[in-house]
A and B are shown apart, each in its own frame.
Chain A
């Protein structure tokens, strides 16, 4: 996750409280989605940004995860994400992001 986005996540969390923040990620690859999820839960694994050593433990979901899908109007979801569900390796992404959330999340 780039340094600017890390800073924004940190600022929003400081302002509203970690328990009130949900991060929705849309990375196209399981690996990059996993890195983003790790950054907002366990802290920046590359130790380069404002979240280095800051384990926020935020709730984090990928846009293709069933928990997020259930919260969105089905027609809007189909319009915005339906095509990408066919393109992405959904199972791999769900496994990667959910396992990081379960391991490092503090508000699940």
Chain B
């Protein structure tokens, strides 16, 4: 089979402290129920500065400046550990300050819904003009800016949502309809953040992997947001909007949803579309979520931890035709959580991990690394949710013991050798399998490892349409060299050969 390959991946973080306060649902809910709560009053004191967010090991791993293996060399928690050589610019992407990101929200807004204050606009213009991936045409979309009085009027009288920077109102997102709940300023804010963060990640993917944007012919967007209006709440299409912003003039696309499992679903779809020859280069992309900012803020503050859910994240990857060298997506080693699988952890892990391996005569130890839900334990442990990747590895190991692939005493060794510490922010779909894709390509190509299994899982019950769980997995493996499609001999070619033989024969006769 001529598998598709992973050409490159990018990862972006946006520091968004004011969005933690004003847009995270833990905070917006608290403001509705207990507007004078102690939590809301003290929250700003527990937010990190941009430098602290950059100088944080899990974030440096996310953008590719440090490897997942290095996480084990630092004792947890990591938030109080300083690291050398931290940079906002990463091998796989970047960390963007909030101010510049607000400018980017204005730039990606195609309907003049975002209004930014005039002097703020000037500051942002200077900063974004210096950004290597933001073009002059993009910066021009910031326009001149508005009076603050006009912005405050839109907020107080016309349902606009305020945009804050450094605790001050610097702009707003207007509503796009008087009564349509799907076009309220709040929903549009969330969607514009998803679009802007995905757009920036797409620009990083193109620039850092030397990709010709015009050669990308399809985009699959796999975040957890929904754009549409009252007649089609999740009509879409983020993918096309992101493609337009990133200059993918020859691409179309569509949105794939599946809660946290969506990125892995999208990888399987992209790999299959390219392998089938339908498209040559498919970009899988997702931006981040404002709703999840500060989701566990109350627990973090209670435990003396800074509010670590202070970044909006994005990821993108390019799946392309087999180039003979990049790692291949083994579409024949795909595991799916089926409707009939049930929801016991055992059933889930069997369906996602061991069933596809069994079909291919592989043992769980034949996979060098498992990339599961790579949530950063610094965030989840103080919130009482434990160490998510570690729990996943324990489950895979325990299943191995039950099947006889491992002895019980070998469990800790298996977890260490085939697992990693988590580093991804808890942005739902973002930690799910894909954070390791960038490293996996490098490590497979350098010969360090051969096979990685990506496992995405999703909690569908949150949407109240089914109580079923969901999940899907796919293996990325070393490229054994490009296989040309076997050349069949066409009728035309046979005729040509016969004609040539006849000519030969005739010339022999003439010569004689």
Q: What is A's interface to B at a CB cutoff of 8 Å?
A: 28-29, 31-32, 35, 48, 79-84, 86-87
Residues of A contacting B33 in the complex (Cβ-Cβ under 8 angstroms): 48
Contact A79 B344 (CB under 8 A): yes
Of residues 405 through 426 on chain B, the ones whose CB sits less than 8 Å from some CB of chain A are: 408, 411
Q: A86–B396 Cα gap in the complex (Å)?
A: 11
Q: When chains A and B are docked, how far (Å) is the Cα of A28 from the Cα of B345?
A: 11
- In the assembled complex, how far is the CB of residue A61 from the closest CB belonging to chain B, in whole angstroms? 17
CB-defined contacts of A86 to chain B, threshold 8 Å: 394, 398, 401-402, 408, 411
Nearest CB of B to A24, in Å: 14
Q: Considering residues A29, A48, A83, which has the most beta carbons from chain B within 10 angstroms of its beta carbon? A: A83
Interface residue stretch chosen among B2-10, B268-276, B384-392: B384-392
Contact of B395 among A31, A32, A48, A83 (CB under 8 A): A83
A26 to chain B: closest CB distance in Å?
Answer: 9
Asked if B394 and A32 sit within 8 Å, CB to CB, the answer is no
Contact status A31-B384, CB under 8 Å: yes
Which secondary structure dominates where chain A touches chain B?
helix
Closest to B388 in A: A28
Given contacts A28-B391, A48-B33, contact A83 B349 (CB under 8 A): yes
- B349 CB contacts on chain A under 8 angstroms: 83
Shortest CB-to-CB span from B184 to chain A, Å, is 22
Between A48, A86, A87, the greatest number of chain B beta carbons within 10 A of the residue's beta carbon is seen for A87
Among residues of B, the one whose C-beta sits closest to the C-beta of A86 is: B398
Docked Cα-Cα span, A79 to B386, in Å, equals 24
Complex contact B384–A32 (CB within 8 A): yes
Pull 25 A–B residue pairs with CB atoms less than 8 Å apart, ordered by A: A28-B386, A29-B386, A31-B384, A35-B384, A48-B33, A79-B344, A80-B346, A80-B347, A81-B346, A83-B345, A83-B346, A83-B349, A83-B395, A83-B398, A83-B402, A84-B345, A84-B346, A84-B395, A84-B398, A86-B394, A86-B398, A86-B402, A86-B411, A87-B345, A87-B398
A80 to B348, CA, bound (A): 10
A29 to B385: give the CA distance in the assembly, Å: 7
Is chain B's interface secondary structure helix, strand, loop, or mixed overall? helix
Which residues of A are found within 8 Å of B96, using beta-carbon distances? none
- Distance of A84 Cα from B386 Cα, bound (Å): 14
**Total number of B residues with any Cβ neighbor in A under 8 Å:** 18
| Distance, CA A84 to CA B401, complexed state (A) | 12
Instruction: Using CB atoms, name the residue of chain A closest to B390.
Output: A87
Complexed CA–CA distance, A31 and B402 (Å): 27
- Which residues of the other chain, A, contact B346 by a CB distance below 8 angstroms? 79-84
- Asked whether A87 lies within 8 Å of B344 as measured between CB atoms, the reply is no
- A87 / chain B contacts, CB cutoff of 8 Å: 345, 391, 394-395, 398
Closest B residue to A26 by beta carbon equals B345
Contact B384 A81 (CB under 8 A): no
**Shortest distance in angstroms between B508's beta carbon and chain A's nearest beta carbon?**
77
Asked if A29 meets B399 with Cβ closer than 8 Å, knowing A81-B344, A86-B408, the reply is no
Chain A residue nearest in CB terms to B411: A86
Docked complex: B433-476 residues within 8 A CB-CB of A: none
Task: Give the distance in Å from the alpha carbon of A99 to the alpha carbon of B344 in the complex.
Answer: 26
A82: chain B residues within 8 A (beta carbon)? 346, 402
A3 nearest in chain B by CB position = B29
Report how far A82 CA is from B344 CA in the complex, Å: 10
For the complex, give the distance between the alpha carbons of A48 and B30 in Å: 9
Bound state CA distance, A29 and B388, in angstroms? 11
Among A32, A82, A84, which residue has the most Cβ atoms of chain B within 10 A? A84
B327-348: which have CB < 8 Å to A? 344-347
Q: How far in angstroms is the closest Cβ of chain B from A80?
A: 4
Residues of A contacting B344 in the complex (Cβ-Cβ under 8 angstroms): 79-81
**How far is B302's CA from A35's CA once the two chains are assembled, in angstroms?**
15
- CB-CB under 8 A from A80, the residues of chain B are 344, 346-347
**In the bound complex, how far is the Cα of B349 from the Cα of A83, in angstroms?**
10
A82 and B346 CA atoms in complex are apart in Å by 8
| Residues 370 to 397 of chain B near chain A (Cβ within 8 Å) | 384-386, 391, 394-395
**How far, in Å, is A64 (CB) from chain B's closest CB?**
12
- In the complex, A80→B344 CA distance in Å? 5
The distance in angstroms between the C-alpha atoms of A22 and B386, with both chains bound, is 26
Kindly list chain B residues whose C-beta atoms are within 8 Å of the C-beta of A29: 384-386
Task: Indicate which residue in A79, A81, A83 contacts B399 across the interface (CB closer than 8 Å).
Answer: A83
Minimal Cβ-Cβ distance residue in A for B393: A87
A32 to chain B, nearest CB (A): 4
Tell me the nearest residue of chain B to A81, going by C-beta.
B344
Q: Which residues of B contact A83 (CB under 8 A)?
A: 345-346, 349, 395, 398-399, 402
Q: How far is the CA of A80 from the CA of B402 in the complex (A)?
A: 13
A87: nearest chain-B partner, CB-CB: B394
Query: Which residues of chain A are near B391, meaning CB under 8 Å?
Result: 28, 87
Task: Please report the C-alpha to C-alpha distance between residue A82 and residue B350 in the assembled complex, in whole angstroms.
Answer: 13
Q: A28-B391, A32-B384 are in contact. List 7 more A-B contacts (CB 8 A).
A: A29-B386, A48-B33, A80-B346, A81-B346, A82-B402, A83-B398, A87-B391
Q: Nearest A residue to B29 by beta-carbon distance?
A: A48
